[in-house]
Amino acid sequence: MNAVAARVGGIGWTHPRTIGIVGIVLGALAFWLALPPLASRTAALPVAIGILAVAAGIWTFSRDERRVGGGAIAAGLLGIAFGVLATRSSSTHLDQVVVWSALGAATLRYATPLIYAAIGGLFCERSGVINVALEGMLLTGAFFGIWGAIWAQSWAGGAAWLVGVGSAALAGMVLATVHAIWAIHLKVDQIISGFALNFLALGITGYLFIDKYGDTGTPGDVPGIPDVHIHFLQNWYFVGPIIGQLNLMIWLSFVLLVGTYILVFRTPFGLRLRAVGEHPRAADTVGISVYKVRYVAVIASGAIAAMGGAYLSIGFVHSFNEGMTNGTGFIGLAALVFGKWRPFPTWGATLLFGFSSALADRLPNAYGNQWGTLFQALPYLLTLVAVAGVIGRSIGPAAAGRPYEKQ
Amino acid sequence: MTDELSAEEAIEPPPPPDGIPQPQQHFRSRFGGLKGAIAPLLTTILAFFMGGLVVLLTGKNPLRVYKAVWDGTGLNWFVHVGHHSARVPFGTAHMWFPWDTASIAAQNLQQTLLVTTPIILTGLAVAFAFRCGMFNIGGQGQYFAGTIFAVWLGSSFNGMAPWLHVLLCLAVGTVAGAVWAGIAGILKATVGAHEVISTIMLNWIAIWVGSYLFGQGGPLQNSAQKSIPISNDIFDGAKLPVFWGLKLLQGLSIGIFIALAMLIVYWIVINRTTLGFEVRAVGFNPEAARYGGVSVARNYFLAMAISGAFAGLAGAVDITGWEYRIGQNDIQLGGSSGIGFIGLAAALLGRNTTLGVGFASLLFGALINGTSGRQLDPSIFRPDLAGNLTTIIQGLVILFVGLNLGGVWVWLKRRRGA
């Protein structure tokens, strides 16, 4: 806490960083003003505020705060573009699409599988093992989650979803164990084994799905993960509709997030994990078992990502289909890269990507299918920009992708 | 801190750069020639064996399933020399002309080769980047870039001279793939962005942009049927000639010769040109190449762009060769197990060599075609199950091919001999 206070205290109000952040906020404001409930009908307002944001960004950028400055310039330009677009469109259409409380709730729903995938990836990659198999782990979790829940329906009753989540986590761990053995002991290229696992997960879940539920699909009365009703919250303005009734797994993801932050950055295990990912030889020299830490991290990543998959099948859509994740795992990976392998920025990235999915979901209500479809590309585009280093480069753990050779 | 690091690097060789599968490159030099085929063969046998176990576990006879798949591939056409018999009045006549071109097997083989064609090209795409030490995961996106432009140009310019039209489609598709991969190449060369992450992102951008273009209300969607998310058909002038089988029955186009020619081009460029030498030098050791006066950044970009050109050509050949149109559905499905990813499997199994990629592509092409709903007898095995079995086998092949099974085998033999 002291560190935070010192950092905040050390930054004056004219510090470039502060101005840059103000610029980013202004950029968002430019867009927001053009949307309901205010819904400014003149394009001049978003343009003016957006230009202010760009100016603040340039000022910051020229004072060597490139990340924040670049962010403010981008936010300002996007604010102008989207703001002007919004003022051009009819207000009934805007009202149909932009229902903030519904968007907020949908954002959380879409972001949840991403955050599980990204946190899973965070453990794995922080330990120095690249994980492109997140997609497969999610898919495995989705299938075995619903399979476990259906299997337990007759004897576990209301707690069948627990069996579902448990079997999802187990299946994810099995898949991750293969990745761990291949990456750590057999020293196979981690990207190759990751992609192999994606194929395997797709094939195995598809095969079992057709074999078990092929003709009719998964049954309609699958026991789902319960929602958490907070009754006193539900009537509150704006907040109520968003968090008054959320799925248990969403709340659990918040716990997971904070827990991950504490575990990775505030405990000896976390220090070891990061050391193994940055400089395994140094870690080995001081007596940390590189292999052990990596095994734990990779297997944990499988369990966590698979729980996200279980949320997808028995918490969100209540069914399973072949290849139903359709890139969700890769968006999770993108969020991890975009958030620079840190828990809270990664969470922010999943919320941003979840928001874009939620918006893509609602756009067809007023503007036709095609714009919603195009919007789905946004997370990937943003991540590409992030790795390109335009807005502060994303650099992963130094030893990621390299097998460690004991001496 | 920097002093410690440099001291350490002075003692031990520098760590291998990201994304280079070192053991494989050593493998070829150590067990070159025919022995190099041992590991891929063992891998394939192992993968089919384990796939058979999956079939067995779900209560089917794997041998019968594999026999049915084999019959569907049309590869039995090669075995049918002198065995072809036909019904004539008053009995059966044995016809001894070899390799009957009108048989069922011939038709099946045409389909297998149609699928093999783009796999060869996307396989070469992965292989070329591999030789430069890069992992081009974006074959699928580059394939779609080629597809999109080939469909767009093919369904425009009605009445253009046919040979010019088809050449235009192929050329622009190739360039589109090169540009799409070139983005990843430039990012790698200038800011060092890891090509795996950037190509994954480019894949999904291509998938969603394609879904937008051909989806309902999209700019390239079918102009006659506004409710179907599919492109316009390309004009006849933009179609590659069919040289074997009937055009109506989706016969084999000359695209397969384009793919075979590209295999030769790949061999020549890699082994007989300065560009290929530089690319391989960078792939073996970028630091050493830099000391030797090779521009690493330039070769990263060039290798990626050429790699993308192969994949883009694959998309264009598919469109002009037999698909003639593309649906939003095809694009969405490509995200997880499309041709680009199968090319990845083919390149890995073929160890990035010319012959290896060719044969591995034929294997995967045959497997995909043999398990497709069109070829497989549903009374023996459900085609949708078989399609997933194909995916499992592909996964197993990729999983085991990196293991260097052949190396393990040779090592065991030597130990037993000693």
- Tell me the pLDDT tens digit for each residue of B304-329: 999 999 999 999 999 999 889 998 88
CB atoms within 10 A of CB B56: 13
Which of B316, B357, B365 is CA-nearest to residue B180? B316
> Counting runs of H as helices and runs of E as strands, what totals does chain A give?
19, 2
**Do A196 and B341 make contact, defined as CB atoms within 8 angstroms?**
no
Residue B415 lies inside a defined structural domain of this protein: no
Rounded distance between C-alpha atoms, residue A10 and residue A139, angstroms: 46
User: What is the model's pLDDT at position B94?
Assistant: 63
- In terms of phi and psi (left: phi > 0; alpha: psi -120 to 50; beta: otherwise), the region of B250 is left
Of B15, B18, B391, the CB nearest to A203: B391
Helix residue ranges per DSSP H, A214-289: 239-243, 248-266, 268-278, 280-285
Assess if residue B25 is contained within a domain. no
CA A122 – CA A116 distance, rounded (Å): 10
Q: Express each pLDDT in A243-299 by its tens digit.
A: 777 889 999 999 999 999 999 999 999 999 999 999 999 999 999 999 999 999 999
Do residues A79 and A173 share a domain? no
Residue B303 covered by a domain: yes
- DSSP annotation of A286 reads T
Residue B246: domain span: 118-382
**Pair A353, A336: CB distance under 8 Å:** no
Q: Are A185 and A169 in contact (CB under 8 A)?
A: no
pLDDT of residue A87: 79
Residues A166, A300 share a domain: yes
Please tell me which of the candidates A202, A389, A402 has its beta carbon nearest to residue B191: A389
Note whether A82 and A165 are same-domain residues: no
Q: Cβ A326–B336 below 8 Å, yes or no?
A: yes
Interface touch A322/B388, C-beta < 8 Å: yes
Domain count for chain B, please give it. 1
H or E stretch including A293? helix A290-310
Using DSSP bridges, classify how beta strands A245-247 and A227-229 pair: parallel, antiparallel or unpaired: antiparallel
Q: Maximum CA pair distance of chain B?
A: 93
Q: Which residue of A has its CA nearest to B405?
A: A186
Nearest CA in chain B to A179: B399
Assigned domain for B13 exists = no
CATH number of the domain residue A130 falls in: 1.10.3470
In this prediction, the residues of chain B whose per-residue pLDDT falls under 50 are: 1-14, 16, 19-32, 418
The C-alpha atoms of residue A366 and residue A191 are separated, in whole angstroms, by 41
Cross-chain residue pair A189–B200, CB shorter than 8 Å: no
Which chain B residues are within 8 Å of A135, Cβ to Cβ?
Answer: 336
> Smallest Cβ distance to B344: which of A195, A206, A330?
A195
| DSSP single-letter state for residue A247 | E
ipTM of this model?
Answer: 0.84
- Asked whether A123 and A301 are in contact (CB, 8 A), the reply is yes
B271 burial (CB, 10 Å; 0-12 / 13-18 / 19+) is: exposed
Q: What pLDDT does residue B386 have? A: 86
Question: CB B395 to CB A196 under 8 A?
Answer: yes
Closest CA of chain A from B354, distance in Å? 20
A58 and A81 together in one domain: yes
Q: What is the pLDDT of residue B413?
A: 65
Contacts of B32 (CB under 8 A, 6+ apart): none
Q: Same domain, yes or no, for A41 and A78?
A: yes
Positions in chain A short of pLDDT 50:
1
Residue A395 lies in a domain: no
Of B410, B404, B416, nearest to B46 by C-alpha is B404
Smallest CA-to-CA distance from B54 within A204, A7, A367 is with: A204
Identify which of B18, B332, B345 has the shortest CB distance to residue A401. B18
In the prediction, which pLDDT does A231 show? 75
Q: How is residue A370 written in tokens?
A: 């095609």
**pLDDT on residue B101:** 62
Contact (CB<8Å) A326/B332: yes
Does a structural domain hold residue B175? yes
A79 and A112 housed in the same domain: no
Name residue B327's beta-bridge partners. B230
Nearest chain B Cα distance for residue A397, angstroms: 12
- Look at residues B283, B312, B72 and name the one whose alpha carbon lies nearest to residue B195: B283
Residue from A387, A394, A402 whose CB has the most chain B CBs within 10 Å, to mutate: A387
Measured between beta carbons, the chain A residues lying within 8 angstroms of B393 are 203
Q: How many angstroms separate the CA of residue B107 from the nearest CA in chain A?
A: 28
Give the phi and the psi of residue A78 in degrees, each rounded to 5: -65, -40
Contacts of B385 in chain A (CB under 8 A): 207, 210-211, 214
Which of B18, B215, B398 faces A195 most closely, judged by CB atoms?
B398
Of A192, A326, A337, the CB nearest to B197: A337
Q: Looking at the partner chain, which of A196, A203, A388 has a beta carbon nearest the beta carbon of B187?
A: A388
- Same domain for A123 and A41: no
Inter-chain CB proximity A198 and B395 less than 8 Å: yes
Residue A93 lies in a domain: no
Spatial distance between the Cα atoms of A87 and A55, rounded to a whole number of angstroms: 22
Shared-domain flag, residues A147 and A288:
yes
* Chain A residues closer than 8 Å to B392 by CB: 199-200, 203-204, 207
Upstream peptide bond of A37 is cis (omega within 30 degrees of 0): yes
**Residues contacting A20, CB < 8 A, separation 6+:** A56, A57, A60, A61, A65, A68, A69, A71, A72
Q: Report pLDDT digits (tens) over B29-43.
A: 444 456 677 778 888
Task: Give CA–CA dist B314/B230, Å, rounded.
Answer: 20
Q: Specify the pLDDT at position B3.
A: 42
* Partner-chain contact A323 B336, CB within 8 Å: yes
Q: Are residues A247 and A289 in the same domain?
A: yes
| A187, A201, A377 ranked by CB distance to B208: nearest | A377
Cα separation of B388 and B374, whole Å? Answer: 15
Which of these, A339, A281, A334, A309, lies nearest to A128 by C-alpha position?
A281
Instruction: Please report whether residue A251 resides in a domain.
Output: yes
Q: Rg of chain B's alpha carbons, rounded to an integer? A: 23
Q: Mark yes or no for CB contact A387/B197 under 8 Å.
A: yes
User: Which residue of chain A has the CA closest to B9?
Assistant: A281
The whole domain housing A133 covers 100-388
Other Cβ atoms closer than 10 A to A339: 22
Task: Give residue A25's pLDDT.
Answer: 85
Cβ atoms B105, B80 nearer than 8 A = yes
Test A210 with B194 for CB contact under 8 angstroms.
Answer: no
Is A145 in the same domain as A235? yes
Same domain, A69 and A118: no
Regarding whether A62 and A147 lie in a shared domain, the answer is: no
Amino acid at B143: Y
CA distance B67 to B362: 17
- Is B349 in contact with B360 (CB distance < 8 Å)? yes
Distance from CA of A34 to the nearest CA of B (A): 26
Gyration radius of chain A over CA positions: 23
Contact A211 B399 (CB under 8 A): no
Contact call for residues A171 and A140 (beta carbons, < 8 A): yes
For residue B310, what is the domain's CATH number? 1.10.3470
Chain A residues with beta carbon closer than 8 angstroms to that of B9 = none
Q: Examine residue B152 and state whether it is found in any structural domain, yes or no.
A: yes
pLDDT in tens, B115-146: 999 999 999 999 999 999 999 999 999 999 99
Q: How many domains does chain A have?
A: 2
Residue B5: predicted pLDDT: 42
Which residues of chain A does B21 touch, with a Cβ-Cβ cutoff of 8 Å?
188-189, 192
Instruction: Look at residue A388 in the predicted model and tell me its pLDDT.
Output: 77
